[in-house]
Amino acid sequence: MHSPGAGAADKTEAPYGSWESPITAAAVSAAGRTVEGLAVAGDGRLVWVEKRPEEGGASVLVREATDPGGKAVDVTPREFAVRTLAQEYGGGSGAFAVQGDTVVFSNYDDQRLYRQTIGDRSPFPLTPEYSGPVVRYADGVFDPHFPRYVTVMEDHRNKSLNHVTTITAVTISDQDTNEPTVLVSGNDFYAFPRIDPSQKRMAWIEWSNPDMPWDKSQLWVGELQKRICIAGGDPTLVESPTEPKWSSKGELFFITDRQSGFWNIYKWDERSNVVIQLYALDAEFSKPIQNGRSYVGVLDHDLGTFSTLDIPFSSVTNIVTGDGCFYIEGASATLPVSIAKVNLDEKGTVATNFSIVWSSSEDVTKYKSYFSLPEFIEFPTAIPGQHACAIFYAPYNPSFQGSSDEKPPLLVRTHGGPTDEERGVLDLNVQYWTSRGFDDSQVVPSDQTKQIYKAMKDRGLPVALVEYEGEPHGFRKADNIKFTLEQQMVFFARTVGQFKVADEITPIKIENFD
């Protein structure tokens, strides 16, 4: 990890973009494993979905090793992929759930739900086979009162733009497949169906077009014969409740942004039917909005106290509780995406142990001297009084520097989706560029790839388009990640920087240039 300006006299002066770096495209693709969802099995061991670019982007359910430091064990067979297409983006988060030694998961190819016993490599289908992956399931949970799996279901069989979304129950069986039974319907979107372990009732979140769930949503609790809106039903109070969770005593906790506009933690008092704020803080008890920084804390709702834990992650994306510990998925500017096990002291306010269970790249520390650290910046937009945010990475290489009269090329990354984000954590895809002399800035938003390509081509600008079969959103396969990085480097070298690339790469055709 560098200190700006250190050792400048010992560096070789070379044009920005031409610097030699050990962070190759192959190294980037090899470090591309990611986590998609965490759960704890009945034996106390962690289970997660691991996306593997080196295996064609396979999404594999994996179980934590029995011995500390041991190798994790694959749960699902190679011909299955734990991934849902619900909400189109797809992914492993929300594609499975675990109860005891039983797992239910959504399979990518046919989008059917399957039941499997951990340790047994023979999944059994729970839902019918339709004409393709037209019925999709996500965000499911086991029902502690009945042998069934409660899940959000998207039905695309009518082939209209407005598919039908419901909350359904799927019978868990070892012998038969069954049509799902609809439990809740009538609204446009549903999420977080959660069963009260103390009573036969369920909490869920729902919202309608054109609202997004972080703008306006409703929290409901329902039984077989009645249901009540807990939050979001008052037309004079616009709020977006989310992430409902039941305690073992039947207490309902959730997050909402009423009153202060910040997502804080609340509790539903069932007797008086009022919502109580447990701890007021001008911060989001959810994904970070400002500076990409998140913290892990312990809230004692009886005492009304909150303690922040000292852990080395600056970005946290998932937490699950285990036996006397909790597991956390996170990363930082110098740590790649990892899963860690955290133990607390008796009071539950101090982390006494932090150990890495899994890392997306165990060898990444060997490149540490080449890392460029993120800087969070703001800049004015075309709209008066409004600013946009970006994460800026300056070019850095311990062996090279640019000349004093040359400015480095700036690579700006954008994304068109409202649910994506940049977190300022270690990503070799960024360090690949900065270690070669590029500035890198990650911003939101942009347009669709084909539209941008056509617009640039029609205007006579240099542009190249490569489409990858089976890669509808983002790159999941190692070869595609490597090829894309190399061709981007050649494209910039030829059209913008006019510098010689350090690596040997065969270029593709560039429209309006070749």
| Predicted local distance difference test score (pLDDT) of residue 259 | 81
Kindly give, in sequence order, each residue whose CB lies less than 8 Å from that of residue 304, ignoring residues fewer than 6 positions away. 278, 279
State the average pLDDT over residues 468-493. Answer: 74
Residue 305 β-bridge partners: 300
Alpha-carbon gap, residue 204 to 183, rounded angstroms: 11
Closest CA to 137 of 128, 505, 470: 128
Task: Tell me the three state secondary structure of residue 315.
Answer: strand
Residue 199 above 80 pLDDT?
yes
| Predicted local distance difference test score (pLDDT) of residue 421 | 65
> What's the pTM value of the predicted model, to 2 decimals?
0.82
Kindly give, in sequence order, each residue whose CB lies less than 8 Å from that of residue 129, ignoring residues fewer than 6 positions away. 110, 112, 177
At residue 442 the predicted structure's pLDDT band, cuts being 50, 70 and 90, is low
| Predicted local distance difference test score (pLDDT) of residue 412 | 84
Residue 405 above 60 pLDDT?
yes
Residue 478 above 60 pLDDT?
yes
Q: How many CB atoms lie within 10 A of CB 52?
A: 17
Q: How far is CA 482 from CA 30, 53, 225, 368, 428, in A?
A: 9, 10, 56, 21, 12
| Predicted local distance difference test score (pLDDT) of residue 3 | 46
| 295 token code pair | 């913290």
Express each pLDDT in 481-497 by its tens digit: 888 888 888 888 888 76
Closest CA to 39 of 150, 140, 108, 127: 140
Residue 444 above 60 pLDDT?
no
State the average pLDDT over residues 69-75. Answer: 88
| Predicted local distance difference test score (pLDDT) of residue 445 | 39
Express each pLDDT in 116-169 by its tens digit: 999 888 999 999 999 889 999 999 999 999 999 999 999 999 877 778 999 999
State the average pLDDT over residues 8-26. Answer: 88
At residue 446 the predicted structure's pLDDT band, cuts being 50, 70 and 90, is very low
Kindly give, in sequence order, each residue whose CB lies less than 8 Å from that of residue 461, ignoring residues fewer than 6 positions away. 512
Alpha-carbon gap, residue 240 to 285, rounded angstroms: 13
* CA atoms within 13 A of residue 471's CA, in its CB half-sphere: 17
Task: Tell me the three state secondary structure of residue 491.
Answer: helix
Kindly give, in sequence order, each residue whose CB lies less than 8 Å from that of residue 211, ignoring residues fewer than 6 positions away. 217
Closest CA to 135 of 105, 193, 180: 180
At residue 245 the predicted structure's pLDDT band, cuts being 50, 70 and 90, is very high
| 161 token code pair | 């733009």
Residue 173 above 50 pLDDT?
yes
Q: In terms of residues, how long is the chain? A: 514
Contact 59, 51 (CB under 8 A): yes
Which ranges constitute the DSSP H helices of 64-132?
Answer: none
State the average pLDDT over residues 29-49. Answer: 90
Residue 429 above 50 pLDDT?
yes
Contact 428, 28 (CB under 8 A): yes
Share of the chain above pLDDT 70, in %: 91
Q: How far is CA 225 from CA 60, 228, 246, in A?
A: 40, 11, 20
Beta strands in 75-232 (DSSP E): 96-99, 102-106, 113-117, 124-125, 135-142, 148-155, 164-171, 181-184, 189-195, 202-207, 218-222, 227-231
Residue 404 above 90 pLDDT?
no
Express each pLDDT in 337-358 by its tens digit: 999 999 999 888 889 999 999 9
Share of the chain above pLDDT 90, in %: 50
CA angle 35, 124, 182 (to 5 degrees): 85
At residue 263 the predicted structure's pLDDT band, cuts being 50, 70 and 90, is very high
Express each pLDDT in 273-315 by its tens digit: 999 999 999 888 876 545 567 889 998 888 888 888 999 999 9
Alpha-carbon gap, residue 379 to 225, rounded angstroms: 54
